[in-house]
Chains A and B, each alone.
Chain A
Amino acid sequence: MGGLEWFVVGVFVASVTAGLLGALVGLGGGVLIVPLLTIGFGLNIRLAIGASIVSVIATSSGAAAAYVRDHLTNVRVAMLLELATTTGAVTGAVVAAYLNARVLFLLFGVILLVSVLPMVKKLGEEVPVNIVDDRLAARLRLASTYPDRALGKVVPYRVTRVPLGFGMMYVAGVVSGLLGIGSGALKVLAMDTAMRLPMKVSTATSNFMIGVTAAASAGIYFWRGDILPLVAAPVALGVLTGATVGAKLLVRFRNRTVRLIFLVVLFAVAVEMFLRGAGIG
């Protein structure tokens, strides 16, 4: 085999690991792909972002299929907020073309640190109480119910601060389009913390939205030629394999050690991305 073949195999194995780790800690593997391809394989950050955005669609669509079937997703909230995330994603993908690679490295470092937040401190509540629909939520009938298997009943919930959530979702879309990640952490921040959706609903709805958001910018990266087939293929197949295996292992494996290892890895990667952005790395 020549150098290209080994490169494909190497990227595949690394992407399986990223997908596996991501699934085990409940974070998309996407956030690890860009550092992996740039720091690990010496790839230009734009091409790394292009490959990453495709893998984000793959994992989101796979997981979303299960969530929709379980009726955890709030389709109305998702579609409304997708107006914000897709517009944001297009903005991000277009702006990315004009940004210096070093700025992209710096931004990526910041976002990595933000993604750590939900892991350190559990944001939001399982089922928030005493929430009143705001005007938009009432008009658009966003409040709904979801089946909670742990509680064994259908739980009704309300939705509030829709404009704030909408604005935060636009930012999440820009970040996704700019850096080629799902920006699930920002989406959960908007739905859990601002709009006060129950944890399970915001997780499922966020996952449902990630694929659509990523698809909005992926087309732009694709036709621009930033998605190299021999990079994107092993990344997409690898992350998908890793995420599938990870989801199965999750039942037996969810413990503090895995999360701690992941946290340390994320932090180290964030520092390395910062250094590259600053021109020191």
Chain B
Amino acid sequence: MEQAETPRAGPVAPLRPPGAHPIELWISYVLRIGTTLAGTIILVGVALFLIHGPQAGEPATLHDMIGGGGHSVATSWLDVVRGVAHGHAFDVIRLGLLVLILTPTTRVAMTVALFVAERDRVFIVATTIVLIILILGLIGLGA
């Protein structure tokens, strides 16, 4: 599956640099799974919209949505969760977008694990700070 793991013929066989950690491989999987999952949820949301039309309480016509350039529609975790439970198209799309934002965040969390495994204090601290910045944005601080 992975070139580095499976020796191949030719001069490019053992290309895994010394010190590369298997967590890097898992990070690569998480990135792929997260993007695919987010894309699928967004696609489901768009399909729901095309079948049922715009959800109640949201812009219903093109003019409502982008007339005069359009305006922001603030939301909250609670609204998104409730909307998804009711199968509301816009909130399903919002959930997909949140999964997309969560993907790099998960990657950073895994990198913290990588540095913990390597017992690298400076990098444990640096990566944790980045993770905290991402989580603060994700829960809606600063908006």
Contact = CB atoms under 8 A, between A and B. Distances in A.
A225 B2 contact: no
Interface string B109-135: 001001100000011001101100110
A222 B29 CA distance: 26
A219 B101 contact: yes
Contacts of B89: 229
A42 interface: yes
B9 interface: no
Q: A interface, by DSSP: helix, strand, loop or mixed?
A: helix
Contacts, number: 228
A61 B75 CA distance: 25
A65 B126 contact: no
- Please tell me the size bucket of the interface on B: 35 or more
A46 to B, nearest CB: 7
A122 to B, nearest CB: 25
Interface in B81-119: 89-91, 93-94, 96-98, 100-105, 107-108, 111, 114-115
Given A86-B134, A229-B90, A79 B39 contact: no
Given A3-B61, A154-B15, A228 B70 contact: yes
A233 B129 contact: no
Interface of B: 2-4, 10-12, 15-20, 24-25, 27-29, 31-32, 34-35, 38-39, 42-43, 45-46, 49-50, 53-54, 59-63, 65-66, 69-76, 89-91, 93-94, 96-98, 100-105, 107-108, 111, 114-115, 122-123, 126-127, 129-130, 133-134, 136-140, 142-143
